[in-house]
């Protein structure tokens, strides 16, 4: 269907069935259609994809979408195809022949959308066909990833800068759900947004979402208590894969149907677990931060964190997966006395001492056999666990040191999707005529995968084992045997990352780590950590206002339903009286000489409330915040 002559509303109605856009969606769509570079800040669940898919259908050529998550691009491509829209994806798990075929389809097959991972933008095969793609719109999803000191910086996003220079006249739309004012300014600067560009930001305020902190030394029991009080679907976020597994087991043992999700599961396992949770067959999804991006389940009533994320951005995005249907929902973080130390330790782990970084560099060169003046543009397999053991390194800090070296430009570190690949060398007729055996294996292969007779196809031994009812080791043994007989060609999984050096080996005394790779990023992470600590420790300021303030929204109105607001109400205090009282005291102290008190009588005179309410608010502030000392009629700032 040719949409070039339709209105945005007509396209929305035809393909999505909606009569009208959500707030700001139409403004962003029109900005794109007018050819403006556009930045859209829409909170989780705000309908980001509509803002580029509608204009993408109305523009004459192809819309190129850069997104970091393979699972998300696959889901969006499937959704578009389901609506009869031609869309394709190119990511790290594809063979070169298939990539070339996909690009040809986009060139000659009137495709409207091509999703690519940022790593693919650097490939020579992609750049060679770029001009022929007839790109009308460039989309940068999760655009905060381009900010080097941002909370989720991905070096591969810098490939977008070269892409932009190759298609300079193509408008760009950059989208994110979480960005501070500083990140917004940096994204605009890096992407080269000019004075004609537009920025649209929807308020991050969620009127139906109640934020709470629960303090407990026994997080598991507190989790059970909360789950018993809040009905409906839930997500429980954990920091590690092992903890996901054990928490899901714990919940099932205590009568709550649960499963777990993390990046270490096979694609089939992740899809199955996600599908069962989406359908409501399982109530609780226990997950690492690998879960949630692109998940559209509107009736999640509870998002629970067993550990506070390092950054408010990450917390806000994950918490925002609750209550997308507009009904009351809850975002709860359970914290204990050790959480503050844990957050500070993550900062130390992410930025080890400079001397440690140089030690890792020297040890890497020794481990890989790189001599002085050697290694430039050389690629090496890196068994990182073996390396850490041999040199008695600290695993987490060693990975952080390698990341800092990568940002400094010394090297590149790749943990690409190098899954097992297989091609059947025999024809179908030969398989049947020569009785090669392993009929169950071939039935499973042909049931799960297509194109096996003509190209290498990525496979999962675990998926085959599940299909056949045997172990993955048994499948591996059969595949190796068939490969030795030249019936198939089997390339087993290779989990060894690769490292490429961009400088010749130098004595560490001559190496310099740029401030942009170390101090600036460390300082920004320190700010995010401090903001997270303020969020979990605050007993006086509305949780929603704290988050909004972090994202640059100065709200004078409290939510009235977070744990802080509700605790005030239960004490017979209205949150707005407390907030106005504290604001007025801060103003009065600012006008006083340092160390001098203010008088309760003067405070009451400056506020539009009865004195007894002001006095109650004052006593509450003095006991809860410990910032004020009362001495009769006098109020001192501690």
pLDDT digits (tens, 9 = 90+) for 329-376: 999 999 998 999 999 999 999 999 999 999 999 999 999 999 999 999
Output the CA torsion sign for 442, 447, 449, 451. Answer: positive
- Identify the helix (H) or strand (E) that includes residue 362: helix 354-368
Given a cut of 70, whether residue 132 has pLDDT beyond it is yes
Q: Do residues 178 and 46 touch, judged by C-beta distance below 8 A?
A: no
Residues 317, 210: Cα–Cα separation, whole Å: 14
State the pLDDT confidence band at 178, using cuts at 50, 70 and 90: confident
In this structure, are residues 37 and 189 in contact, taking their beta carbons and an 8 Å threshold? no
Two tokens at 245? Answer: 């597994």
Higher pLDDT, 305 or 203: 305
Element (H, E) at 609: none
CA 92 to chain centre: 18
Name the helix (H) or strand (E) containing 574. Answer: none
From 18-22, 128-132, 349-353, the region with the lowest mean pLDDT: 128-132
pLDDT beyond 70 at 418 = no
Residue range 401-411, pLDDT digits in tens = 999 999 999 99
In this prediction, residue 300 carries a pLDDT of 96
Is residue 63 a contact partner of residue 136, using CB atoms and an 8 Å limit? yes
CATH topology of domain 539-637: Arc Repressor Mutant, subunit A (1.10.10)
Q: Do 352-417+496-517 and 539-637 have matching folds?
A: yes
Fold adopted by 352-417+496-517: Arc Repressor Mutant, subunit A (1.10.10)
Task: State the CATH architecture for 209-342.
Answer: 3-Layer(aba) Sandwich (3.40)
Q: How far apart are CA 303 and CA 315, in angstroms?
A: 10
Give dist(CA 126, CA 96) in Å, integer: 10
pLDDT score recorded for residue 612: 80
**What are 63-106's pLDDT values in tens digits?**
999 998 777 788 889 889 999 999 999 876 566 677 888 999 99
The pLDDT of residue 494: 67
> What distance in Å separates the CA atoms of residue 65 and residue 52, rounded to the nearest whole number?
9
Average pLDDT for 471-500: 84
* 559-610 pLDDT per residue, tens: 888 988 887 766 667 777 888 898 899 999 999 888 899 999 999 999 988 8
For residues 469 and 467, give the distance between their C-alpha atoms in angstroms, rounded to a whole number. 6
Residue 335, class by beta-carbon neighbours within 10 Å (0-12 exposed, 13-18 middle, 19+ buried)? buried
What strands, in cross-sheet order, belong to the sheet with 379-381? Answer: 379-381, 498-501, 411-414
pLDDT at position 609 is 86
The pLDDT score that the predictor gives to residue 495 is 61
Q: Give the domain ranges of the chain.
A: 8-201, 209-342, 352-417+496-517, 421-491, 539-637
**Domain covering 8-201 assigned CATH 3.40.50.2300 in the classification:** no
pLDDT band at 1 (very low <50, low <70, confident <90, very high): confident
> Which own/partner pairs from 577-583 qualify as long-range (CB within 8 Å, at least 24 positions apart)?
577/609, 577/613, 577/614, 577/617, 578/540, 578/617, 578/620, 578/621, 579/541, 579/542, 580/607, 580/609, 581/607, 581/614, 581/617, 581/618, 581/621, 582/540, 582/617, 582/621, 582/625
Alpha-carbon distance of 149 to 519, in angstroms, equals 10
Q: How is residue 46 written in tokens?
A: 């705000």
Report pLDDT for 416.
Answer: 58
Compute the mean pLDDT over every residue in the chain, rounded to the nearest whole number.
89
User: What is the per-residue pLDDT across 96-127, written as a single tens digit (0 to 9) for each?
Assistant: 677 888 999 999 988 999 999 888 887 777 88
Contacts of 228 (CB under 8 A, 6+ apart): none
Q: Which two tokens stand for residue 384?
A: 């990182």
Using DSSP, state whether 223 is helix, strand or coil: helix
Q: In this structure, are strands 498-501 and 379-381 parallel, antiparallel, or unpaired?
A: antiparallel
Across the range 290-314, mean pLDDT stands at: 90
Between CA 456 and CA 444 the distance in angstroms is 16
For residue 490, pLDDT beyond 70 = yes
CA 590 and chain centroid, separation = 41
Query: Is the whole-model pTM more than 0.85?
Result: no
Res. 419: pLDDT tops 60? yes
pLDDT of residue 364: 96
pLDDT on residue 267: 67
């Amino acid at each position: 269907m040719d949409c070039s002559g339709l209105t945005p509303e007509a396209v929305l109605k035809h393909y999505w069935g909606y009569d009208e856009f959500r707030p700001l969606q139409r403004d962003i769509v029109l900005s794109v259609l007018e050819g403006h570079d556009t930045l859209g800040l829409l909170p989780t669940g705000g309908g980001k994809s509509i803002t580029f898919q509608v204009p993408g259908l109305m523009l004459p050529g192809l819309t190129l979408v850069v997104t970091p998550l393979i699972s998300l691009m696959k889901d969006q491509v499937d959704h578009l195809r389901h609506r009869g829209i031609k869309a394709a994806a190119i990511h790290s798990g594809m063979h070169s022949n298939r990539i070339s075929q996909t690009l040809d389809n986009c060139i000659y097959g009137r495709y409207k959308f091509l999703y690519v991972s940022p790593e693919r933008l650097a490939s020579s095969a992609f750049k060679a066909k770029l001009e022929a793609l007839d790109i009308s719109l460039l989309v940068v999803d999760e655009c905060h990833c381009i900010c080097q000191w941002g909370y989720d910086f991905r070096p591969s996003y810098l490939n977008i800068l070269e892409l932009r220079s190759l298609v300079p006249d193509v408008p760009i739309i950059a989208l994110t759900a979480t960005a501070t004012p500083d990140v917004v300014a940096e994204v605009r600067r890096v992407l080269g947004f000019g004075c004609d560009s537009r920025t649209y930001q929807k308020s991050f305020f969620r009127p139906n979402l109640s934020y709470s902190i629960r303090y407990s030394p026994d997080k598991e029991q507190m989790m059970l208590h909360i789950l018993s009080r809040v009905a409906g679907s839930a997500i429980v976020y954990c920091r590690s894969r092992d903890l996901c597994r054990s928490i899901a087991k714990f919940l099932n043992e205590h009568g709550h149907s649960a499963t777990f999700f993390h990046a270490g599961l096979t694609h089939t396992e992740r899809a199955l677990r996600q599908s069962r949770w989406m359908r409501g067959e399982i109530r609780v999804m226990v997950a690492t931060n690998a879960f949630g991006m692109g998940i559209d389940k509107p009736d999640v009533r509870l998002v629970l964190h067993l550990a506070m994320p390092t950054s408010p951005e990450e917390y806000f995005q994950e918490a925002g997966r609750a209550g997308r249907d507009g009904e009351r929902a809850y975002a709860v973080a359970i914290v204990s006395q050790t959480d503050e130390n844990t957050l500070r330790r993550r900062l130390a782990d992410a930025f080890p001492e400079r001397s440690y970084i140089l030690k890792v560099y020297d040890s890497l060169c020794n481990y890989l056999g790189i001599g002085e003046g050697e290694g430039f543009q050389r690629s090496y397999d890196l068994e990182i666990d073996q390396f850490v053991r041999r040199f008695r390194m600290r695993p987490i800090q060693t990975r952080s040191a390698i990341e800092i070296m990568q940002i400094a430009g010394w090297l590149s570190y790749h943990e690409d999707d190098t899954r097992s690949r297989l091609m059947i060398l025999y024809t179908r007729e030969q398989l049947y005529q020569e009785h090669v055996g392993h009929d169950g294996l071939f039935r499973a292969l042909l049931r799960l995968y297509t194109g096996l007779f003509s190209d290498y196809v990525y496979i999962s031994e675990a998926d085959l084992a599940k299909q056949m009812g045997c172990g993955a080791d048994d499948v591996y043994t059969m595949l190796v045997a068939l490969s030795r007989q030249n019936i198939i060609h089997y390339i087993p999984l290779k989990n060894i990352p690769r490292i490429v050096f961009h400088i010749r080996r130098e004595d560490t005394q001559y190496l310099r780590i740029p401030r942009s790779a170390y101090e600036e990023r460390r300082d920004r992470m320190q700010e995010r950590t401090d903001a997270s600590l303020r969020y979990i420790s605050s007993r006086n300021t509305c949780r929603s206002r704290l988050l909004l303030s972090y994202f640059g929204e100065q709200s004078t109105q409290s939510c009235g339903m977070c744990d802080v607001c509700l605790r005030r109400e239960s004490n017979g205090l209205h949150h707005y009286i407390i907030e106005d009282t504290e604001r007025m005291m801060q103003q009065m102290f600012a006008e006083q000489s340092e160390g001098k008190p203010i008088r309760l009588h003067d405070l009451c005179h400056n506020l539009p409330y009865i004195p007894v309410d002001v006095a109650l608010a004052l006593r509450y502030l003095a006991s809860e915040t410990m910032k004020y000392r009362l001495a009769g009629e006098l109020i001192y700032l501690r």
